[in-house]
Amino acid sequence: MGKDAELLKKLKDSSLKEHAFSELLDRYQERLYWHIRKIVITHENANDVLQDTFIRIYKGIHNFQEKSSLHTWMYRIAFNESIRFLEKNRKKRYDNIDAISESNLEVLFEDEYFDGDEIQIKLTKIINEFTQKQKQVFQMKYFDNLSFRQISEILEVPESTLKSIYYKTVKIIEEKIVL
């Protein structure tokens, strides 16, 4: 996090901003991409959302009040941009996304950058059967390797609730994969 503080200082200095932003991209681009990809499913959509996310970060960095870490703040922007993208494209509230999980899978299987075998498809299907909250928590914790505190800041859910959700999802996956 020390490196982030230094980077943030440069980002807020207009003479160093360009160079610092390039460094920020090197450091976080891939992590944010995978976070977005799991929400918007296809590579093409993830690419669009990633660009919008970084543009928003670039424009908003001066207003970042450092109440959370830079990392968490960027994740939150990426998450919000992904939700906005889904809402715009599907013209539905994100709360209803559980109802269209089947179509999510179809979209994923049609994506040219998905090459899952039987077990990967099985895992994807299990995750897809989770409620939206379970899915977000599991993906952020397991795939994005975020701490419960960070997830709590992003989703605005108490850490204890997150822990309970995560362990429940892990249990479900373990049972279903073994079977």
Count of positions on this chain that bind other proteins (CB under 8 A): 38
Buried b (16+ CB within 10 A) or exposed e, 80-111: ebbbebbeeeeeeeeeebbeebeebbeebeeb
- Rounded Cα–Cα distance for residues 86 and 33 (Å): 16
User: Does residue 178 belong to the site contacting other proteins (CB under 8 A)?
Assistant: yes
The residue (of 99 and 178) whose beta carbon lies closer to other proteins is: 178
DSSP secondary-structure letter at 93?
-
User: Does residue 30 belong to the site contacting other proteins (CB under 8 A)?
Assistant: yes
Q: Which of 143, 158, 160, 176 binds other proteins (CB under 8 A)?
A: 143
Choose the stretch contacting other proteins; rule: CB under 8 A; options: 77-85, 89-97, 150-158, 169-177: 169-177
- Cα dist from 36 to 4, 15, 28, 156, whole Å: 21, 30, 12, 18
Q: Cβ atoms within 10 A of the Cβ of 159, count?
A: 14
Choose the stretch contacting other proteins; rule: CB under 8 A; options: 34-42, 66-74, 91-99, 157-165: 34-42
For other proteins, the binding residues (CB under 8 A) are 21-22, 25-26, 29-31, 33-34, 37-38, 43, 47, 50-51, 54-55, 58, 111, 113-121, 123-124, 142-143, 145, 170, 173-174, 177-178
